[in-house]
Chain A
């Protein structure tokens, strides 16, 4: 029972991660794949931030009268990761726009068909 209460955040994260992974693998539309990738990324952020939370602590800003702070190291890591994630998404969407102009489609199997029929 203690195991259940102590680990439920990891299981929520794993559920979201698997949902994102399923979208990336199984969907054929390129824009939906990128949305799935972002869902996956957001679940990893939740994993790190939930691991950094300390019971009874507050936000990591030094104030008077508070002695227990949440761990600032995962926050720094995730801050970097969020911005890098949006940079990757921007590049991926620019590629999708160019693919659409070249193949007139954003469905994965149509693009494969056009490539193989050359």
Chain B
């Protein structure tokens, strides 16, 4: 995907990558997230990129660019990150500190306090409802932004 020059193929591969990520989420027991990623990543994102390709160009132009410096930067950052992961908790360890404090309270007390079987909805809409309000605001703002950028019909081509 990195070295392809046909942008249509790049977008198709990106759709496949999103779908594979959604399947990976199902394996990791995150069904709500997999649902959203499949609908949004493999659906809306791919569709938006195809629309952009229809409005712009189909192939990338050939360029001679030095790739030594970006490769070096990326390798150094990657090595530093790998060095930093040696202290992190093991994969799927039940005694990791992540699962001990607030999450345990949410799992145990949500039956009395909220009464909704889906824990993710309970946390999203009730315990952390204020964050969800911010998220809806962000989506609304993005819609307004796209309307401002691309919405008007009465103007002529280049303004």
Question: A interface vs B, CB < 8 Å?
Answer: 2-3, 5-11, 14-15, 17-19, 21-23, 25-29, 31-32, 34-35, 38-39, 42, 45-46, 49-63, 68-76, 78-80, 82-84, 86-91, 93-98, 100-102, 106-107, 109-110
Residue of B nearest to A88 (CB): B142
Question: What band does the interface of chain B fall in when counting residues whose beta carbon is under 8 Å from A?
Answer: 35 or more
Which residues on the A side are within 8 Å of B41 (C-beta)? 38, 42, 82, 86
Q: How far is the CA of A88 from the CA of B131 in the complex (A)?
A: 17
**Cβ–Cβ contact A83 & B93, under 8 A:** no
Contacts of B78 in A (CB 8 A): 14-15, 17-18
Query: Which 9 pairs, one residue from A and one from B, show the smallest C-beta to C-beta distance?
Result: A6-B90, A87-B142, A26-B70, A60-B119, A55-B92, A10-B85, A72-B119, A94-B149, A70-B29
Contact residues, B88-120 vs A (CB, 8 A): 88-94, 96, 98-99, 102-103, 106-107, 110-111, 117-120
Q: Closest chain A residue to B55 by CB distance? A: A97
Interface of B toward A, CB cutoff 8 Å: 1-2, 7, 10-11, 14, 17-18, 21, 24-25, 28-33, 36-37, 40-41, 44-45, 48-49, 51-53, 55-57, 60-61, 63, 65, 67, 70-71, 73-75, 77-78, 81-82, 85-86, 88-94, 96, 98-99, 102-103, 106-107, 110-111, 117-120, 122-124, 128, 131-132, 135, 138-139, 141-143, 145-146, 149-150, 157-158
Contact B33 A45, beta carbon cutoff 8 Å: yes
Contacts of B49 in A (CB 8 A): 31, 34-35, 93
Decide if A22 touches B91 in the complex (CB within 8 Å): no
B residues less than 8 Å from A80 (CB atoms): 124, 131-132, 135
Given contacts A10-B88, A26-B71, 13 further A-B contacts (CB under 8 A): A7-B86, A19-B2, A21-B74, A26-B65, A29-B7, A32-B60, A53-B28, A62-B111, A68-B94, A73-B103, A74-B98, A96-B56, A102-B158
In the complex, A46→B88 CA distance in Å?
15
Whose C-beta in chain A lies nearest to the C-beta of B106? A72
Residues A51 and B149 in contact, CB atoms below 8 Å apart: no
